[in-house]
Structure 1
Amino acid sequence: MINFKKWFVVFTAFFLTVPSVSLAGSIKDGSSGNPGEWYVGTTPSSIAANSHPILFVHGLNSSSDTWYENNNMYATAYQNGYETAFIDLNAGKSMWDNGALLAQKVQEVYNYFGEKVVVVAHSKGGVDTQSALVHYGADPYIERVITLSSPHRGSELADLAYSSWAGWLAGIIGSKNDGTYSLQTGYMDYYRSVTDSHANVYNTPIYTLGGTKWGSFGSALYWGGLYLSAYGSNDGAVTVQSSRLPYAAEISVGRWNHTTIKEGSSTFNLFKNYLNEETFYSASAASFETAAVTEGAETPAGHYITGGEYAGTHKESVAVEKGVDSVTFDWISDKKDTSLALASPSKKTYADFKVTADDTEFFKGAYHHTLTIEKPEAGKWTLETKADKKERYLLNTTFESPVDAMLSGEVEGNQMKVKGNNKLNVKTDMTVEYYDKNGKLKEKKLKAKKNGNDFKIPSLGEGVYNMTIDVEGTYEGTPLERTLIQTVYIDDKGKLYAP
């Protein structure tokens, strides 16, 4: 293991009672810090009674500055009398790599303060922290953990990033990394099995918060919230269901998005009392166990997804069935200035796409070009795009339609089964991307054997199997298209894990 130099950086300048920030290492333009470096905030003139120091842990594709750049969490903690520390983990590594690193470094933080810390972790940082505790022996140095919208059960956006249609875009923007790989829901089902059954899992109390807001149309987390809405309440990147653990006490679920949930003005006062010496569980784990069993068994059918790359002029068509309440076209691209025009079946054109940069952690570096049509005309809609240079894209079309509840996919044994209402006349096709246990792509667009609309999940070795089911057919005489994405993990003994 690499030995990282330890930095103690004490922030001593003040401006309007807010401590200034001075970092060791190089953190510029939102890029990651140096993995393993940690920093100490200014010591308050009056330390809160019976308090523990706080160690802030960042999430996927992020760094320690997420707590104080455009965020008042550090300032809020300081003003409330709390000692603070911040650590940089590997921004794109798995919970195993980051858990091992955090376990090593938190001992140094413990030695510096002379007492246990309370970890406040955002997003994947909560999963990294639990790995440090359960699998790498960090419990003697951590009093308790507070997770802010951590994907304890993974994120369907990670599934999307590793799906066959997203390959062109994900490859160019770099969203395929060990961190995203490990947050696929199939892999996280495996991770939960080896973590929740571990003897160390109850040693350190965990408290959770989850968010339900993903902003208005065109905002940075809107598209993520729209995509995840088929899976339940979410904050634009992580569902509420995934933010929970069956043995953790839930502090609150509130109207925060994946960014605001880590802001001091949003949540600090809610978890403030959990930073002190005496804290007791105040929630029943039984209700979370029930929720974990009853939710998320089926893959919903509210999306049509395609993707690729092109240069010059390109067209994509999308079938819209009758009775659709609304349809949202989200052209996700590595280009900000793409020229897009949407045409209805009757040739009416639309060009007022809202352009926003991705803020979900899973497609960082991509741009969303989004347009919603209310009560759309049934038939074939055509999206025409032009680009001077090669462009990689992912088109996610989201429906609000009665058909969404008539079609679903579910893993049963070693089969992926597509279930449809008798009002639908559909045919299906499934391709599989197989990544080995190290996240290396071993099989691309592998065609699965089928029997009707049931597909046999191949078993090629240990790793993640990311399955894309393309559905086309008719509903009451009008064309229908949908895409289902599901991941499973197969371990070294051939056992299959599915969310």
Structure 2
Amino acid sequence: MIKKICMTVFALFLLLPSWSQAGSFGKDDPSGVPGQWYVGTTPSYVAPSKHPLLFVHGLNSSSNTWWNENNMYDTAYQNGYETAFIDLYPTKNMWDNGALLAQKIRDIHNYYGEKVVVVAHSKGGIDTQSALVHYGAFPYVARVITLSTPHYGSQLADLAYSSWAGWLTGILGSKNDATYSLQTGYMSYFRSETDHHQNVNRNPVYTFGGTTWGSFGSSLYWGGLYLSAYNSNDGAVTVNSSRLPYGTELRVGDWNHSTIKEGSSTFNLFENYLNEATNTSGFNSHSVVESKEADNAASFIRGGEYSGKKQEVVLVEQGAQSVTFDWISNSPSSQLILKDPGQKADSIFKVEKDESEYFNGAYHHTVTVKDPAPGEWKVEASSSSAEKYLLHVSFESAMNDAMRIHLAQNGISLKTNSSNLKFKQNMTIEYYKDGKLKKSKVKTKNDSLKLPKLGEGVYNVTVDIEGSKDKNAFKRSFIKSVYIDDSGKVYGQ
């Protein structure tokens, strides 16, 4: 199919020189050129009722995500649809990509002579909504299908910008304008700018969400484990975030963040929404009202940089059903030993390379312990060279529901469900403005959870907890992002 596409585009160069921005693509152009768009092979018969399809990729991706190890393009072709694909900036925010995409949507509309249906994966759905609502591309689009789009951001983006993870994501290149804009605090601000805009209901939006993670030790499995504190997810985006209150949810299914964009997974479920005469009221769909995330106490997080040897101590409480240790580093050769409270040592970590959107290029060293002995567990690492790392410990325990974190007026609020719970807290803030780190590791006075007045920008907040319930000791970490505008208004979830 790729050869056919290349031949089609070559013909366009010869016959339609005014459309020269539509270039050839395939294995020689794996990363894509931002702003370049491509025309798929025209099926032998195209029904007049079928809209052309424009496929939009997500974060740290490119147009070839729709045909490399993916049958979405081939499925659309076999079903008689004209197709177009575009490359956006893989690491820029929804404003830059929205402006670029709006220009190209107009060109693609003019090429086909009719409106297109946009099928967007992940952040591509946010870029698309930005193009339609804020940059005026709505007249050229019939409707939008979003596949696991984080309409309310991703807590993995919050983690990537946190004080514990910044060492690692900085060297991985994960701290970029795109990830910055997907922090839940910033996305709350984007929703406030978008959801009441006069153009927001010009194009119907249909959403899909996933509930399955990858295999044990994989990046999507780890992402799913981290996000499980915030409800069902596909390893990168929670189901709640994939929804829009004024959109129509077509399906939540057992897809992960990668398989949800495959043609064999979802195409047949949204095909009825691709035609010009579609009567959407006749299909099995329903509107979904936004629901809040859980924000429960399921994680303990540490991170930083070391050379030689490093030890992290993890406190496991009595009654925990399981605990998963995930040492994430920029090196696959980390030598790790896990010691239980009785000092029994074992090297039982499974190593997998991260291929996700937020920690791409890192290495996960993962192990799960069932019915762990209570007390101090130790992760001991050694490396012959300097290493950046992030330790994420996930608990399956009744203690997870003992405490929750919420955004309060001018600060963060911790709520407990037990009078027997005693704890002390420590809050650290990474303050960013326009994507640039302005102040790092800001501490509040007297362990206060009130946000300092640093100005407009994103406040990435880490709250570390050490406490006990009925004399049962525990430690946990909460990470949350908040956006404060130039008038002092607070945005967050």
Q: In which range does the TM-score fall when normalised by the shorter chain?
A: over 0.9
* 2:191 paired with 1:192: yes
Between 276-285 and 477-486, report the one with greater CA deviation: 276-285
CA contact (8 A) 1:44 1:79 kept: yes
Q: Distance in 1 between matches of 2:338 and 2:29?
A: 35
* 2:177 paired with 1:178: yes
Match of 1:254 in 2: 253
Q: Distance in 2 between matches of 1:466 and 1:159?
A: 7
* 2:428 paired with 1:431: yes
Match of 2:149 in 1: 150
Identity of counterpart residues, as a percentage? 60
Q: Distance in 2 between matches of 1:447 and 1:358?
A: 32
* 2:468 paired with 1:470: no
CA contact (8 A) 2:207 2:242 kept: yes
* 2:479 paired with 1:482: no
Match of 1:79 in 2: 78
CA contact (8 A) 2:246 2:287 kept: no
Q: How big is each residue's C-alpha offset from its partner over 1:433-453, in whole Å with a ceiling of 9 and x where there is no partner?
A: 0101x11101100002346xx
* 2:339 paired with 1:343: yes
CA-based RMSD: 2.1
Q: Distance in 1 between matches of 2:292 and 2:403?
A: 17
* 2:359 paired with 1:363: yes
Q: Counterpart of 1:417 in 2: which secondary structure? A: strand
Q: Distance in 1 between matches of 2:215 and 2:149?
A: 22
User: Which of 397, 401, 404 is residue 401 of structure 1 equivalent to?
Assistant: 397
CA contact (8 A) 2:234 2:255 kept: yes
Deviation at 1:328, TM superposition (A): 0.4
Q: Counterpart of 2:251 in 1: which secondary structure? A: strand
Q: Distance in 2 between matches of 1:478 and 1:359?
A: 38
Match of 1:460 in 2: 454
Q: Distance in 2 between matches of 1:92 and 1:26?
A: 21
CA contact (8 A) 1:301 1:482 kept: yes
Match of 2:15 in 1: none
Match of 2:14 in 1: none
Deviation at 1:422, TM superposition (A): 2.5
CA contact (8 A) 1:464 1:489 kept: yes
CA contact (8 A) 2:303 2:389 kept: yes
Match of 2:325 in 1: 329
Deviation at 1:284, TM superposition (A): 10
* 2:49 paired with 1:50: yes
Cα distance 1:388–1:325, how it changes in 2: closer, same or farther (>3 A)?
A: same
Deviation at 1:26, TM superposition (A): 8.7
Q: Counterpart of 1:345 in 2: which secondary structure? A: coil
The runs of 5 or more residues in structure 2 that have no matched partner are: 12-21
User: Which of 362, 377, 383 is residue 387 of structure 1 equivalent to?
Assistant: 383
Deviation at 1:142, TM superposition (A): 0.9
Deviation at 1:48, TM superposition (A): 3.7
CA contact (8 A) 1:233 1:239 kept: yes
Match of 1:18 in 2: none
Moved over 6 A (4+): 25-29, 283-286
CA contact (8 A) 1:152 1:188 kept: yes
Q: How big is each residue's C-alpha offset from its partner over 1:111-165, in whole Å with a ceiling of 9 and x where there is no partner?
A: 1111111000000000000000000000111111000000000000000000000
What TM-score does the superposition give when structure 1 sets the normalisation length?
A: 0.92
Deviation at 1:190, TM superposition (A): 0.7
Q: Distance in 1 between matches of 2:404 and 2:175?
A: 27
After superposition, residues 122-161 of structure 1 pair within 5 angstroms as 122-161=121-160
After superposition, residues 282-361 of structure 1 pair within 5 angstroms as 282=281, 288-289=288-289, 292=290, 294-296=291-293, 299-361=295-357
CA contact (8 A) 2:75 2:264 kept: yes
CA contact (8 A) 2:249 2:288 kept: no
Letter in 2 for 1:422: S
Match of 2:8 in 1: 10
Q: How big is each residue's C-alpha offset from its partner over 1:270-290, in whole Å with a ceiling of 9 and x where there is no partner?
A: 01111111223448999622x
Letter in 2 for 1:263: E
The runs of 5 or more residues in structure 1 that have no matched partner are: 1-6, 14-21
Letter in 1 for 2:481: T
Q: Distance in 2 between matches of 1:466 and 1:62?
A: 25
What TM-score does the superposition give when structure 2 sets the normalisation length?
A: 0.93
Deviation at 1:312, TM superposition (A): 1.4
